[in-house]
């Protein structure tokens, strides 16, 4: 499965990075440098058009909490921010070049991402995630409108100018952060009343650049400085030029212009809140009126740019897919979220939902108890007559007005952490086992007229006695049941179904270590020899199964789901998708190769013809009726192989996997290699085979050593 991500801005890079890191192939389309935009200045991915910071780092700020949420989810933007951060007090500001460079290098070095430079104006085959941002081409906007039947909209956004630090007159300015929060990292240019009023007058009357053919529809969260000034003489004094908290030498100035560091070295500073649409000459003239900036050299002038967005409530599902075409997703600022952090967050969340879909994982969406969930809900569920792009804010979070900030933060981060855990996919067998355990417990409570919320440790002990004495479960089963119930009650407690967890602190049964059973090599050789002597219809399939499972150590599920396209006969490698959807390469023996080819060119074709279902061409191993194998079917085949060979072996699929591992260990392979070949997530799981090896040696010793003392037998 390949996902097409269109647009290498923050949202597109977040999505591509997440999907690629989780084994999904990505084609990332980017129009730059083939087609440059009016707002970008480099060819780097994830470029910040505006030099504004990524807002607050504090968790009691909605955007700060959103950043913490996506950091928990594995955000590339947060990685890049940590690498390129510059001093900005309690705000997160970055060196824009180093930030974009970090993201670009990450994306380009990922082997699962193919970068295609193309100005996309249509929808690709397969799954598409459109993250082209506010400067989406008119052709692609027209295509989206054509598909959805809804018009796309736009407003105008602006960016602030940047000046060289060494051109600032430091005799007129001072360093300070508002209310002394964080380091004194801002340069402050104070104004008296006369200076301020003269500045505002010239600002209002200054010549503005043309807005091309678009309506003058501004985003209220990022108004041009001249538009704010036109709303009243004191508007700026109570907005970006607010002096409160910036007192200097016990003086409260009439107004203060702040400058924030824009690069890691500290050579460049942007003028905070001075996004503008003035012509370049007028910017130079008017902004030189600011005390300390009379001779300032502009590295970049401010500019206006178009922000396009879709009518999300009408056309988007809450997983960012189109209602009319679930193979097309739209995230980032084009979806109706506003702001860099919000854009990146929506791209990351859309990637999660795409991954869950591809892997067929049932999941629970983020709720509006989280900033990201609330933002998603807003753009997809707000009233169609009042919809406009939205920043992160506490006002959209569920019951935020009635809950303490600390509780909002804790609730949000817990839910996000639980959401991330859903990446782990439990096998069907595991789910069946859990359900069996809970159903058994529910039946016990029902038969004793008990309710879930009435359970205490005494009732739990009665249930365990019931499992031991009446059901005759062994200690291993009791241990699993206990684990299931502890997780079950923790879930009930976390979701507020119960007021306390009665199983908190309950200890699980200690069980004797049960080492895996293995075949001795002479036993396997005898089994193969006897199987070769068979003359029945299925012998070639059975030989292929035996040789492959013995020489690869593949799991039952991996054998069952093995597809022809996953097998490389020339190099004798199989591409395996194991537990946790982790991909690995598994070698197999020349004997397995020969047996599999023999089965594939004859018997397998006959089995397919039995059903007439050519979709079965996908799967390599089939049952006697020509259908895909099942777990129970594979176990039955193993027992039949042993029975037909007339050998006294309790043969089951996992025994061959255990045999493979111990054979490697005996041959001198290190544990790390065995772990990789078996697809174990932890070396601790692999470690058990060292004990198996010792047990085999002890068994052979006790069997064949002629004189056995009492101590020998006991040990």
Give the three-class secondary structure for 527.
helix
Between residues 128 and 389, the one the model is more confident about: 128
With 50 as the cut, is the pLDDT of residue 710 above it? no
Q: What is the pLDDT of residues 359-371, one digit of tens each?
A: 888 889 999 999 9
CA distance 155 to 216: 7
pTM score, two decimals?
0.52
Decide if 335 contacts 310 (C-beta within 8 A): yes
705: pLDDT strictly greater than 60: no
Q: Which of 41-45, 205-209, 451-455, 577-581 has the highest mean pLDDT?
A: 205-209
Identify the pLDDT of residue 214: 39
Compute the average pLDDT of residues 555-578: 88
pLDDT at res. 215: 41
* Rg, the chain, Cα only: 33
Residue 614: pLDDT band with limits 50, 70, 90: low
* Band (709; pLDDT cuts 50, 70, 90): very low
d(CA 38, CA 15): 25
Least confident of 158-167, 172-181, 497-506: 497-506
Tens digit of pLDDT for each residue in 503-516?
Answer: 887 776 655 555 66
Q: Are 139 and 35 in contact (CB under 8 A)?
A: no
Residues 25, 3: contact at Cβ < 8 Å? yes
The answer to whether 319 and 348 are in contact (CB under 8 A) is no
Predicted confidence (pLDDT) at residue 185 exceeds the cutoff of 90: no
Whether residue 33 is preceded by a cis peptide bond, meaning omega within 30 degrees of 0, is yes
Angle at CA 112, nearest 5°, toward 110 and 114? 90
Among 92-101, 163-172, 273-282, 304-313, the least confident range: 304-313
- The β-bridge partners of 130 are 6, 330
State the angle between helix axes of 62-72 and 340-358 in degrees (0 to 180), rounded to the nearest 10: 30
């Amino acid at each position: 499965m390949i996902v097409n991500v269109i647009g290498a801005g923050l949202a597109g890079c977040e999505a591509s990075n997440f999907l690629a890191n989780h084994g999904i192939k990505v084609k990332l389309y980017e129009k730059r440098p083939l087609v440059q935009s009016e707002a970008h200045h480099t060819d780097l991915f994830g470029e910040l058009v505006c030099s504004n910071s990524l807002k607050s780092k504090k968790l009691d700020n909605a955007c700060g909490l959103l950043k913490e949420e996506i950091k928990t989810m594995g955000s590339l933007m947060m990685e890049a921010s940590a690498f390129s951060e510059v001093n900005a007090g309690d705000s997160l500001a970055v060196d824009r070049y180093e930030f974009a460079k970090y993201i670009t290098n990450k994306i380009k070095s990922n082997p699962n991402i193919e970068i295609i430079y193309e100005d996309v104006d249509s929808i690709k085959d397969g799954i598409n995630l459109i993250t082209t941002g506010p400067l989406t081409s008119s052709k692609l906007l027209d295509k989206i409108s054509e598909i959805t039947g809804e018009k796309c909209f736009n407003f105008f956004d602006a960016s602030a100018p940047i000046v060289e630090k060494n051109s600032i007159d430091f005799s007129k300015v001072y360093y300070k952060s508002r209310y002394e929060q964080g380091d004194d990292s801002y340069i402050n240019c104070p104004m008296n009343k006369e200076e301020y009023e003269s500045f505002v007058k010239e600002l209002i009357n200054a010549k503005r650049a043309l807005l091309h053919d678009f309506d003058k529809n501004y985003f209220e969260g990022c108004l041009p400085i001249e538009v704010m000034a036109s709303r009243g003489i004191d508007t700026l004094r109570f907005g970006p030029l607010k002096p409160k908290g910036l007192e200097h030498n016990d003086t409260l100035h009439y107004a203060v212009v702040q400058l924030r560091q824009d690069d890691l070295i500290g050579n460049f500073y942007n003028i905070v809140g001075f996004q503008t649409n003035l012509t370049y000459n007028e910017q130079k003239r008017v902004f030189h009126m600011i005390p300390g900036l009379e001779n300032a050299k502009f590295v970049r002038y401010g500019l206006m740019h178009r922000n396009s967005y879709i009518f999300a409530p009408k056309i988007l599902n809450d997983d960012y897919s189109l209602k009319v075409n679930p193979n097309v997703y739209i995230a980032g600022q084009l979806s109706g979220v506003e702001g860099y952090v919000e854009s990146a967050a929506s791209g990351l969340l859309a990637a999660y939902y795409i991954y869950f879909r591809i892997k067929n994982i049932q999941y629970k969406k983020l709720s509006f108890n989280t900033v990201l969930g609330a933002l998603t809900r807003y753009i997809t569920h707000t009233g169609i007559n009042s919809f406009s792009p939205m920043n992160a804010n506490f006002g959209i979070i569920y019951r935020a007005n009635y809950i303490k900030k600390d509780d909002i933060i804790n609730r949000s981060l817990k839910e996000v952490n639980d959401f991330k855990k859903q990446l782990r996919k439990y096998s069907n067998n595991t789910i069946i086992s859990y359900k069996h355990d809970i159903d058994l417990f529910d039946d016990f409570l029902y038969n004793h007229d008990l309710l879930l919320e009435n359970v205490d440790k005494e009732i739990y002990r009665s249930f365990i006695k019931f499992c031991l004495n009446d059901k005759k479960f062994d200690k291993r089963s009791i241990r699993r049941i206990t684990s299931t119930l502890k997780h079950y009650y923790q879930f009930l407690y976390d979701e507020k179904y119960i007021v306390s967890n009665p199983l908190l602190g309950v200890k699980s049964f200690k069980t004797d270590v049960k080492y895996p059973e293995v075949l001795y090599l002479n036993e396997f050789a005898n089994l193969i020899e006897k199987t070769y002597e068979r003359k029945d219809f299925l012998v070639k399939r059975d030989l292929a199964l035996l040789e492959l499972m013995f020489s690869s150590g593949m799991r039952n599920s991996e054998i069952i789901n093995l597809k022809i396209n996953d097998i490389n006969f020339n190099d004798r490698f199989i591409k395996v998708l194991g537990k946790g959807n982790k991909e690995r390469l598994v070698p197999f023996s020349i004997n397995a190769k020969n047996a599999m080819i023999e089965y594939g060119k004859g018997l397998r074709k006959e089995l397919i013809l039995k059903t007439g279902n050519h979709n079965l061409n996908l799967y390599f191993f089939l049952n006697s009726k020509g259908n895909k194998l099942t777990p129970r079917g594979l176990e039955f085949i193993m027992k039949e192989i042993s029975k037909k060979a007339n050998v006294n072996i309790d043969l089951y699929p996992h025994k061959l996997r255990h045999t493979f591992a111990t054979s490697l260990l005996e041959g001198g392979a290190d544990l790390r290699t065995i772990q990789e070949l078996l697809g174990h997530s932890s070396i601790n799981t692999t470690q058990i085979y060292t004990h198996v090896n010792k047990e085999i040696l002890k068994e052979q010793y006790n069997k064949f050593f002629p004189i056995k003392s009492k101590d020998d037998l006991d040990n």
